[in-house]
Every structure is written in C-alpha cells, then in structure tokens.
Chain A
C-alpha cells in the first residue's frame, strides 16, 4: 500500500479512488494510516462479512489464528463492473501501481468505459 500512496498523483490524475479493507478495527486502521502516512481510507471488516462474501478469507491467517483477508486487489469501473483482478499466490508479492495504471489505461483504450 506504501507504493500506492507514493503513486497517488498518477492515480488521482486518472480519477481513481483507492479503498483498502482489512479485519482491523477502525482505531487500528487509523493508527496504521497515521504511522504510515496513508491518506486513502481504510475500511474495517471486523466480522469478515465482506471478505467472506468476496471469498477472500485466509482462514487462521492472522498471527493469533484469526481469519483475515488474503491480499487481493480489484479495479472497479464507474458502472460497478470489475475490470481487473490481482490475486497473488505469494504474500510477499503484491500488485504494483504500474499494473493498476496499465489496467486502467487499457480498459479505457478499449472504449467500453470511456471517462
């Protein structure tokens, strides 16, 4: 998420909104935003409801054995349709901003969802 914060100028210029989601409480998320300087919102899914509905649960993945979200990124267009998905198979390998910008530029070039 650090790399996305750094890429905000390019993301903002394309009018892409960033939303992060984890099982952490709003207070923990706020602490993370302050300590890491994240300016995009972080949503709390403390009861795994959305994470479960999106089938992104990593059962017992937390340090205390709690169910948490697996890392995943989705790009959703202005009609609510999913246009790009990144489901990493390796916790240490995450989506990079370049991939998202490329996917966004690609979906607009295809003309199905012009800005």
Chain B
C-alpha cells in the first residue's frame, strides 16, 4: 500500500514559518497588527494544529501516512521556532531601559547639534525658533509662519 506523504505536516510547518517571517516583513508595518501580533500568532497556532494532526495520524495510521520520525523532528523544531517568536515579541522586546533621567514634560529640551543624512548640521533650538518649512525641507528658507512644535523621534537604527 502506498503511503501518503502527509501533507498536513508540511503545510503546518510552512504556516508556522510564514507566521514568524511575515511579522518583520509585513505585519510589523501596520500598528494594528504590530502592537499585538494577532495575525502571526493565529498563523502559528493554525500551523501547529495542522502539524499536530499530521503527526497524530502518522502515529495512528503508519500504514497510510508517512512522517512518524520526520514529523516528530519537524514538530519539535516548529515548537521551538514558535517559542522563539513568542519570547522575542513578549519578553525580549520589553527589555528596555527605564530612562528615568530622560527629559520630562515641562522641562526645557536639552539643546543639541547633529548632522543630518546629508551632513548638514541641524540645531534643535534653531529649528524650534525658525520659520516653518514643510517636513522634508530642512534648511529650506521658504516657510509660512513660525514653527509650532518639533517632534523628536529617537529610534533604534537601521542596522
């Protein structure tokens, strides 16, 4: 009797991997799927269920389905991958410094001068008191009215 290649093990693994990889590649771009990665957790859970079904039938009906050994190895691997994802998102991502010494609301912003990506020096207090120029035009003198506020975004970097 010809044994089936047990598609559910394969599709389950693919779903788990897609569920993990699609977070940085796609779903992290949208706040609704980034702040809590529900799409990815759903994909991973679905993948693990499929994988479980595949492994279960490989053991129950080894005459009909392949994958007792292969399925078990892949199963453990995928659980490890899913565990890594959960750890990265729910534990590692929250290990941020408290930054108690950061400037607080009501304080004056400590001034600084830093080069922009075209090596022009930008000075915070100069920018705050300069005429407004639409974003994307630092150094542009054309502006209407005063700058009302500056939004400073510190970020981790591109690596």
Contact = CB atoms under 8 A, between A and B. Distances in A.
Interface residues of B, number: 58
A55 B117 CA distance: 23
B6 to A, nearest CB: 35
Interface in B95-142: 96-97, 99-112, 114-119, 122, 124-125, 127-129, 132-136, 138
Contacts, number: 237
B28 interface: yes
Contacts of A17: 127, 132-133, 135, 138, 147, 149-151
Interface string A55-85: 1111101111000111111111111111111
Contacts of A58: 96-97, 156
A15 B128 contact: no
Contact of A82 (B108, B119, B153, B159): B108
Interface residues of A, number: 80
Q: By DSSP majority rule, is chain A's interface helix, strand, loop, or mixed?
A: mixed
Interface string A1-34: 1111000100110111111111110111111110
Nearest to A3: B31
B44 to A, nearest CB: 16
Interface of B: 28-29, 31, 34-35, 37, 89, 93-94, 96-97, 99-112, 114-119, 122, 124-125, 127-129, 132-136, 138, 145-159
